[in-house]
Structure formats: structure tokens, C-alpha cells
Structure 1
Amino acid sequence: MKRHLIIATAAAAALVAGGTVTAVAVSNDTGSASAASGGSLPAQTSPHHAGAQATGTAQVQDGRSSIRLPDDDTSGQDLREAKAAKVTAPDAAAAALKAVPGTVTGLDLDADRPGLVWDADVLGKDGKWHEITLDAGNARVLNQHVDQDEDDDAQERAAARSARTDAAAAARSAASHGTVTSVDLDDDDHGKAVWEVETTTHNGKEHKLLVDPQSGKLTAAPADDSDDDDNDGADD
């Protein structure tokens, strides 16, 4: 397998004695770190696992998902994605927050170039918007970056920070209606913020549900706001 090296830390320091410059690199297929000067350092490359405790800072692997599901954009794709995913929405949210502490504002299960992944949006404690790509098979961080083009919406920031029900809790509330494939904090729902949660049942039936960020109350999305005509509501 072709090796891909990802620079995790580029630290250069002129030593007082000899002026040696040292750089550290992390290999995404060996999990080892090496110093340019010949020494070696232990690497924190433990993958994120659903439900596992944080073992260290998340490493950006920029790799492919362990689930190689093609994005063919055909009928039944959402069902195939829901059945193939091994990581639930709440576990994806937890993994995203291990990588970037803050508030998860969006989760989306999708098959694209890296395979089947969870795309997570996080408003970090640093005040920046972060996009994180997670392996839908084991919750490993595949990529993460700061979104420089994100429109800075003060209302969305306020809604995210004031929500008593987070993305993971919203997903758990809707899980009885199928596999959760999307969670999004909509700050423009008739002037009120709301979690929009999409689910897919084992037979391919899709539901769109709403969760109040303050009370956690689960309701069905209005018929004209649903992606399909089969939404029977939150009381199914």
C-alpha cells in the first residue's frame, strides 16, 4: 500500500548548542512518528471508536472510510447508507467533539469520495466554524478544517450556544423512527431555532422530525416541509 505522510507538527527550533532543526511527521499507515534528526517519538494515533473515551488529540488522517460505499445518487441510496453505517449519529457527534471541543450544529451521513462518512459541523470553543469528516465505520477522523467561507450568522451562534438539547440528544429522540441520517440546527424555522432530524426506516421509509432545542420535545415536520409524502408523524 502506498504510504501517505501527513505533517502533524512542523516544529523548527534552533538549538543553542548546535542549531539543529527538527521536524516531526506522522504516518497514517504506520502510526509512528519520526524526527528528521534521526530520533523517534511516540505518536498519538489511536483511532476514535464509537463510545470510547478520548485518548488524545485527534489526528487528521485525510484518508478514506473503511466503508467503501459508492455515491450512485439512485433510488434507495439513503437506505443503503443507513444500513451500512456502523457509527450512530450520537457517536459521530461525540467523536467530532473529541476532535474539536464546542457545539455540534450539523451531522450528515453521506457517501462521497472517501466512502461512507459522517460530515459534522462544529462551532468550536475557539469561536470558529469547523468541518470534520468521520469514518462511518469506526468514527475515525478522516479530515478536519476551519471553514473560512462560512457566513457568520450571529443568530445561529446564539441558538447553538443556548440550546439545552444538543445534536446527540436530538438524534436519540428521533431514533425510534428509524436510523438517523441527518441532524441540523435550523435557526430560521418561523423565527425560532429547531433541530431538524431525518431518519430512514429498515424498509426505506423516510421521516423528517423536529426537536425543540430547549425542551427536547419531538414533533413531526409540517407536510410541506417534508422531503417525502410518507411522513406519518412523530406519533407512529
Structure 2
Amino acid sequence: MKRHLIIATAAAAALVAGGTVTAVAVSNDGSGSARSGAPVSAQPAAHDAGTSASGTAQVQDGRSSIRMQDDDADGREDLREAKAAKVTAPDAAAAALKAVPGTVAGLDLDADRPGLVWDADVLGKDGKWHEITLDAGNARVLNQHVDHDEDDDARELAALRNAKTDAAAAARTAASHGKVTSVELDDDHRSKAAWEVETLTKDGKEHKLLVDTQSGKLSAVPAHDADDDDNDGADD
């Protein structure tokens, strides 16, 4: 999501011996993260993957350790991403919750400007929606912010809070059908909520599966639902 950023540079007097000043990007919600490509401020290394007193993750350079362009010229981009990712969906969920305690509502493996990343949507314990970008090579937090534009759908919130099976457990359940590349809570077009999980096998075949939020039972996405998903971008 595009947001207006204000780049602020610390005063030279703030420098300590051998330290550097970090350019900080401040979003509309007041949270800040180290600007992509900027030096890291002179702080103990233990803070690199932790959180500050304000709850904002400390970020190093904002770029993934796996450099990969968003290029699907041959139609095998998803397979390349799945093979390159070193961090599994459950591990990405755990890293997201370490940055922002709450409940993971969605995970998506994607190659973007920073490289190969996991995008995580988390409903925080603060009641706000957080978008977290994680390095797909080492689970380091690259970026995070509060999504003020997220619609508070009462049905989705209830399904998420009442779920006995979380996103990480759903991913582990579906992993027998290939490498998990996406997990999303789906309550839009079925009688009860379920985790919709996408997996890829080594030959590039995609599977769309459902994991019941209550029982954790695995099933295939009904054919008509799969067809609807495949035609989402088609002209009417």
C-alpha cells in the first residue's frame, strides 16, 4: 500500500564514536523504519530483529537476502519463488507474531522490489491490522506498518478470533500437498470460514486446499470455487 513518507535525518550531534545516522521513514500512523539501503543506526545488534519500546520493528536495510525479480515471462515464476524460499509459511507466521503479537490472517510468498518476501497480515492484540514484510531467506522483518484502510468486516473478525486452527497449523496440514505459498482466511463464499491454502509441487502443479478453522480437517477447494478464482482477472 502506498503511503506518504517523511524522511527525517538525525542531527550530527547524535552521532557516537564510530556510529552512523539512520534515515527514518515515518508513515502516516507515526511508525518508523529504517529507510531501504540506509546505514543502520548505532544500536546494539540485539535490536536488529527485535522491537523498540514503541512496538515498531527495527529494520536493517529493508531488502530480502534472496534477490529475485517479479518476472513471469515463462509462466513459472511461482515455481521459482517456491524453490528459492528458505523460510516456510509456519516460520513466517511465527516471525510475524514475534514482531506484532496477535493473530495471522494471511500469508503470501511473493517476489517484489525488495526481493523474495513473505507478506503477512496480522490482526494485532491492539485491535489494528498490521502488514509485515519478511525476508523469505531468514525471516527478518523488512518492513511493517499499520493498515488504516483495512475494512473491519465483523464476520471476518469473528471467524479469525474464534478459529481453533491458526494459519501456521493450516499451512503445516496442507504441506503434504507441496510447498505452501499462500494462506488466507476465506469466509466470503462458503457456509463457514476456512483457511484457503495454495501449494506447489516440484513439477509446478498448483493445489488449492481448504483447512477447517475449527476441526483442522483438510479438503480440496470445490471445482466451481477454483474456477471462480482462476477467472478473477478475466473480462466479463
Q: Deviations over 1:146-169 (max 9, x none)?
A: 001111111111111110000000
Aligned partners of 2:106 and 2:186: how far apart in 1?
A: 9
Aligned positions of 1:189-208 closer than 5 A: 189-208=189-208
Q: 2:67 matched to 1:68?
A: yes
CA contact (8 A) 1:207 1:226 kept: no
Partner of 2:49: 47
Distance 2:156 2:177 in 1: 27
- Between stretches 149-158 and 205-214, larger displacement belongs to 149-158
Partner of 1:136: 136
Matched letter for residue 69 of structure 1: M
Q: Do the aligned partners of 1:121 and 1:130 also contact (CA within 8 Å) in 2? A: yes
After superposition, the C-alpha distances for 1:189-219 in whole angstroms (9 at most, x for unaligned) are: 3231110000000110000000000000000
Change (3 A) 1:188 1:93: same
- C-alpha displacement of 1:31: 6.0
Structure 2: gaps spanning 5 or more residues: 1-19, 27-32, 229-236
Distance between the aligned counterparts of 1:93 and 1:6, measured in 2?
Answer: 28
Is 1:5 the counterpart of 2:15 in the alignment? Answer: no
Alpha-carbon distance, 1:121 to partner: 0.2
CA contact (8 A) 2:100 2:122 kept: yes
Q: 1:8 to 1:111 in 2, by over 3 A?
A: closer
Give me the whole-angstrom Cα distance separating, in 1, the residues matched to 2:189 and 2:86.
31
In 2, the alpha carbon distance for the partners of 1:204 and 1:32 equals: 45
What stretches of structure 1 of length at least 5 have no aligned partner? 10-24, 34-41, 49-53, 229-236
TM-score by length of 1: 0.76
* Identity across matched positions, percent: 74
Contact 1:44 1:59 in 2 (8 A): no
Q: Which residues of 2 match residues 1-236 of structure 1 at below 5 A?
A: 5-7=22-24, 29-30=39-40, 32-33=42-43, 42=44, 44-47=46-49, 58-61=57-60, 63-74=62-73, 75-226=75-226
Give the TM-score normalised by the residue count of structure 2: 0.76
Q: Secondary structure at the match of 2:187?
A: strand
Q: Which moved more, 1:187-196 or 1:212-221?
A: 187-196
Cα RMSD of the aligned pairs, angstroms, is 2.7
Q: Letter of the 1:185 partner, please give it.
A: L
Measured against aligned partners, the alpha-carbon deviations of 1:114-172 in whole angstroms (never above 9, x if no partner) come to 10000000000000000000000000000000001111111111111110000000000
Give the count of matched residue pairs: 198
Shift of 1:111: 0.2
- CA distance 1:26–1:190, change in 2 (3 Å): closer
For the structure 1 residues 4 and 209, does the alpha-carbon distance in structure 2 shift closer, same or farther, using more than 3 Å as the test? farther
Cα displacement (A) at 1:30: 4.6
Query: SS at the partner of 2:47?
Result: coil
Runs of 4+ displaced beyond 6 Å? 25-28
Distance 1:62 1:105, change over 3 A: farther
> How far has the Cα of 1:62 moved from its partner?
5.8
Mark the structure with the bigger radius of gyration: 1
Q: 1:45 deviation in Å? A: 2.7
Paired residues of 1:185 and 1:194 also in contact (CA < 8 A): yes
Q: Secondary structure at the match of 1:165?
A: coil
Partner Cα separation in structure 2 for residue 6 and residue 174 of structure 1: 41
Bigger proportion of residues as helix: 2
